[in-house]
């Protein structure tokens, strides 16, 4: 079995993967790489949607030959009025492409936002993601659970602007990803 140092990961996402507003060096992905020893590539793009991620999946994921891709998105889709069905379709297609390329998919559950209408759509999308991943036996990194308080709001001490984490928030996300990915590596047998 490969360990985290030998296995390549790609993190595909939007600004919350990229590390906005601080840049990639503050991202949860960078923390996994520099502090936790993961061989991980950050393919987060500010403002990207799930449709955009699907369009760049070949170039930004498959061509890099990772063992695992972490897919997290949907926040920009919700802000921009994309339908839930289109969001679901794009996730299904990325997972299908991963399977076809023998890449293990891991789904990141999007963090909370403080815009009520957007958060309502994201709640439905999170439910879809959890159900879909349970049905398909896909691991999830529950970034939402790690970032939310008892009232379902982003924890103030982890929040930058109601959408993006602050530096401490990115560190909490890195810890959540580390715990999940460490569990995954214990259970996957690589050929």
Separation between Cα atoms, residue 134 and residue 90, nearest integer Å:
17
In the chain, the domains with their CATH numbers are 8-187 (3.40.50.1110)
Number of H-type helices and E-type strands within the chain: 9, 5
Q: Crossing angle of helices 167-187/28-36, nearest 10°?
A: 60
**106-142 pLDDT, tens digit each:** 999 999 999 999 999 999 999 999 999 999 999 999 9
Sort strands 68-71 and 39-44 into parallel, antiparallel or unpaired: unpaired
pLDDT bracket for residue 75 (50, 70, 90): very high
* Rounded mean pLDDT, 164-186: 96
**Is the pLDDT assigned to residue 144 strictly greater than 80?**
yes
Query: Hey, which bits of the chain come out as E strands?
Result: 8-13, 39-44, 68-71, 104-108, 139-141
Q: What is the pTM of this model?
A: 0.95
Separation between Cα atoms, residue 50 and residue 134, nearest integer Å:
20
Lowest-pLDDT range of 3-17, 37-51, 150-164? 3-17
Cα separations in angstroms, 54 against 64, 86, 92, 123, 131:
15, 11, 10, 22, 21
More confident residue, 92 or 191: 92
């Amino acid at each position: 079995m490969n360990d985290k140092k030998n296995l390549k990961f790609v993190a595909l996402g939007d600004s919350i993967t990229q590390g906005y507003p601080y840049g990639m060096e503050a991202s949860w992905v960078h923390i996994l790489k520099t502090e936790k020893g993961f061989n991980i590539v950050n393919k987060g793009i500010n403002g990207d949607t799930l449709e955009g991620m699907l369009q760049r999946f070949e170039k930004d994921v498959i061509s890099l030959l990772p063992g695992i891709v972490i897919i997290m998105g949907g926040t920009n889709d919700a802000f921009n009025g994309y339908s839930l069905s289109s969001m679901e379709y794009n996730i299904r297609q990325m997972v299908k492409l991963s399977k076809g390329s023998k890449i293990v998919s891991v789904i990141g559950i999007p963090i909370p936002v403080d815009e009520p209408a957007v958060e309502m759509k994201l709640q439905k999308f999170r439910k879809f993601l959890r159900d879909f991943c349970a049905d398909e036996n896909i691991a999830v990194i529950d970034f939402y659970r790690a970032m939310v308080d008892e009232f379902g709001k982003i924890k103030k001490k982890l929040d930058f602007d109601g959408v993006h984490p602050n530096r401490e928030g990115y560190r909490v996300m890195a810890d959540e990803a580390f715990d999940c990915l460490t569990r995954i590596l214990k259970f996957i047998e690589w050929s």
